[in-house]
Amino acid sequence: MQDELDALKNFVAECRVHQDVGPPSLSYALAIIAPGGPAFTVGKPTSTIDINLFHASTGHVNEFLMRETAKQQGVQLVGELQPCVGCIEAKGRRAPVPRRGVTRAAVPFGKVHIDITGPYSEAFDGSRYLIMFVDSASRWQRANGMRAKSYTLTYTRRFLADLNGNGPLGCFRMDNAGEFTSAAFVAFCDAAGIRREYTAPDTPKQNAVVESAIWRAMKGGHAARRHVLSMGHFDLALSPVWTPTDTGCGLHRRRVFPHGQRRGVHECCLRRVQ
């Protein structure tokens, strides 16, 4: 015990002597505390180091900062930088969702989205369903009321008849509902040379173009009904849902098309003013 105290006193005395040149090293202190022991060093300086090891020792920084750090420390990096699994798992992120769909048609009526919604309360003409057609390129749209889903083919033929003279229709995009997969509808599309695209089951987002068009038309139509009601002398029950919805579609076709050089949607799509 006395020997240890004497060694500690000698260590303190040596520290006072070396105060002018700085504190002694750890190896020097161990040599004083344990006389006769081998010299000890914490680390050994090196001039070269593997680049992957240096990448891990610098906290997995990027390559530019890692090389600048090595240059500042005077260390030469050797070897080839390999992909770091830790960086890939910790710093990886999901690719951004494109703001614009890659399946949008380049020309008007190159692709038309179709969807049916309902049933709703019966209108004046007995309609309880709504069928919506939306052009993929220009977002031009048309809505029709139907009494039953069995009238789908009838209104599709009427839609094509109204487009007569505006070029051939390339494709229909729709869900897997029975009215679109029936033998009569398939035979009609094949005879007219119209390609059919079906979305996956229970995935309305894959046909969001027409889904959002239906939502906008319905909300715009209801807003128009409420506005007319606020003016007085009007019974809301006398206005069927199809009348304001068709009005909403017509107003949408009159809006300015974003890429149409200040032209309306109807003018860009059908090349005539509505």
Residue 21 resides in a domain: yes
Please give the structure tokens belonging to residue 117: 């919604």
User: What CATH number is associated with residue 209?
Assistant: 3.30.420.10
Going from the first residue of the chain to its last (274 residues), give the mean pLDDT of each consecutive group of 10, the final group possibly shorter.
66 55 46 49 68 89 90 90 87 71 76 90 83 88 89 92 79 91 93 91 85 83 72 58 53 50 50 47
Phi, psi (degrees; rounded to nearest 5) at 32: -75, -45
Where does residue 51 rank: exposed (0-12), middle (13-18), buried (19+ CB within 10 A)? Answer: middle
Range of the domain at 34: 1-44
Residue 107 resides in a domain: no
The structural domain count of the chain equals 3
> What is the predicted pLDDT for the residue at 126?
83
Q: Are residues 139 and 203 in the same domain?
A: yes
First-residue to last-residue Cα distance in the chain: 107
Q: Are residues 122 and 56 in the same domain?
A: no
Please give the structure tokens belonging to residue 126: 């007995």
pLDDT tens digits, one per residue of 146-198: 899 999 999 999 998 888 767 778 899 999 889 999 999 999 999 999 999 99
